[in-house]
Chains A and B, each alone.
Chain A
Amino acid sequence: MLGHFNLQLIFDHFDLFRHGLWWTCLLSAMGWISAVSLGLTACALKLGPVRALQRSAGFYIESIRSTPLLVQLYFLYFGLPEIGIVLPEVVVGVIALGLNSGAYMAEIFRAGILKVAPGQIEAARSSGLSAWRIQRHVVLPQAVAYAAMPLMSQTIVLVKDSSLLSLISITELAFAAEDFYSRFFSPLEGYVTIALLYFAIYLILNSASDHWARKIKTITGTG
């Protein structure tokens, strides 16, 4: 297997990987949008004044963080049809990704907001700023800066997590390697290829994140 690592085979069937790469990017993007929306909502509810909503947001965040994505995925994949909801695999996959990362993102946003020093809010209040203006001009700009880096890490996690969607037969990058294996019965070529492709995505996101970090340093003074 090692002796005859077949590069030619990879190049001949690169379409397989290109297709997978496209789907990985698409699923990650859709998962990301759902996760950010869910995360913002859960964060707002948790910091909001209504007790019952605080509790339900807390329940969502803690239960997702304490259970594995794969179990959440199987729960939706096997469970939804049983209660009469039949959705395409791709939709189930995006829901699972969004639900999972949303819980982590809610915590990231919340931590960002809580990191803003209380003294600044008091100062803004005593300068006569309205509650809305305090949020808009004092809290949120700093919170976004604090949350940006962990948000990028979570985005990288989300892209890697999307590999699990191959297990419910969504034809993304990890599925391409499996497909390659079943066609040519040589597993390493496929898995090494997709490892490199995932790594390329990681390098792009990571350098974007580094670039961002330098800019943010000027806002927060710390980074």
Chain B
Amino acid sequence: MYFENLAMLGNYAPFFLKGVWTTIWLSAVCLALATVTGLVVGTLHQLAWKPVRALITVYIHLVRGTPFLVQLFIIFFLLPELVGLELSPIPSALVALLIHGTAYIAAIFSAGVASIPKGQWEATAAQGLSLMQTLRHVAFPQIFQFVLPPLVGQYVLLIKDTTVVSIVGVTELTKSGLLIASRIPEGVTIFSVIGVFYFLICYPLVHLANRLEQRFTPTAGN
């Protein structure tokens, strides 16, 4: 019976694939942008003027302390007011994902920058390197190993968070499943197929995160 249902779902294949495509581009855009903003905000969190650091700390805690669903709804209702336009749900979804993702990624980069010993900053300053040169040639190459495993882990979480934007009407993978489920009552089949799609997107990254962690994280006590 399961396979009959699966065959029936075949009719909806183009619809599914459209959802897959939306999930993929939404995730890709959000991850790319959030990595850049997260790098900048995370570095500022360690090096900027004190009030700026405090502001970033508050921002990170606010994002970490509230569910993404709530952040999304606040952006969704607030953003059209701020720009004074009727907006399709996609810009709101992207802005919410970006604000959310930036906070988590900034926390990772901030911990990375903090892991550089103080002596190195002093040494590079004594050598006459500018702050940008120190970051570019001394700090970032070292923190790369340190941030990579949690960063990839965070990517997986962010990709999974894109499912939540379905509730403001973005027809990504989860929403397309819901729409099909409202037409044919085959939830097991529909959501197992959707689960497989997410698995195919996320599992390689989960696997990579595990590998990176084994490679770069020293075991304690040794």
> Shortest distance in angstroms between A101's beta carbon and chain B's nearest beta carbon?
13
With A and B bound together, what is the CA distance between A167 and B219 in angstroms?
41
A93-119 residues with Cβ-Cβ distance < 8 A to B are 114-117, 119
Name the CB-closest residue of A to B166: A70
CB-CB under 8 A for A74 and B187, given A62-B203, A63-B199, A65-B206: yes
* Min C-beta distance of B166 to chain A, whole Å: 7
CA distance A104 to B67 in the complex (A): 18
**Chain A residues with CB under 8 A of B166:** 70
B68-A82 in contact (CB<8A) = no
B17 interface residue (CB < 8 Å to A):
no
**Is A208 part of the binding interface, using a Cβ–Cβ cutoff of 8 Å?**
no
Does B44 sit at the interface, judged by CB under 8 A? no
Please determine whether B70 and A163 come into contact, CB atoms closer than 8 angstroms: yes
The count of residues in chain A whose C-beta lies closer than 8 Å to any C-beta of chain B is: 50
Assuming A66-B202, A75-B187, is B66 touching A115 (CB within 8 A)? no
Interface residues of B in 131-161 (CB under 8 A from A): 156, 160-161
- Whether the Cβ atoms of A70 and B70 lie closer than 8 Å is no
A170, chain B: closest CB distance, angstroms: 13
Contacts A82-B186, A115-B220 known; A74 to B191 CB distance under 8 Å?
yes
Q: Is A69 interfacial (CB 8 A cutoff)? A: yes
The interface size of chain B toward A, counting residues with CB under 8 Å, comes to 44
Interface residue SS majority, chain A: helix
Of all chain A residues, the one with the shortest Cβ separation from B162 is A68
Using A77-B187, A78-B185, A188-B74 as known contacts, list a sample of 4 further A-B pairs with CB atoms less than 8 Å apart, ordered by residue number in A: A79-B191, A114-B219, A163-B69, A191-B74
B52-81 near A? 1/0 per residue, CB < 8 Å: 000000000110111111110110011001
Complex Cα–Cα for A187 and B206 (A): 37
- 14 of the cross-chain contacts (CB-CB < 8 Å) are A2-B78, A65-B202, A65-B206, A66-B203, A69-B163, A72-B195, A74-B174, A74-B177, A82-B188, A188-B78, A191-B70, A192-B74, A195-B70, A201-B65
A27 at the interface (CB under 8 A from B): no
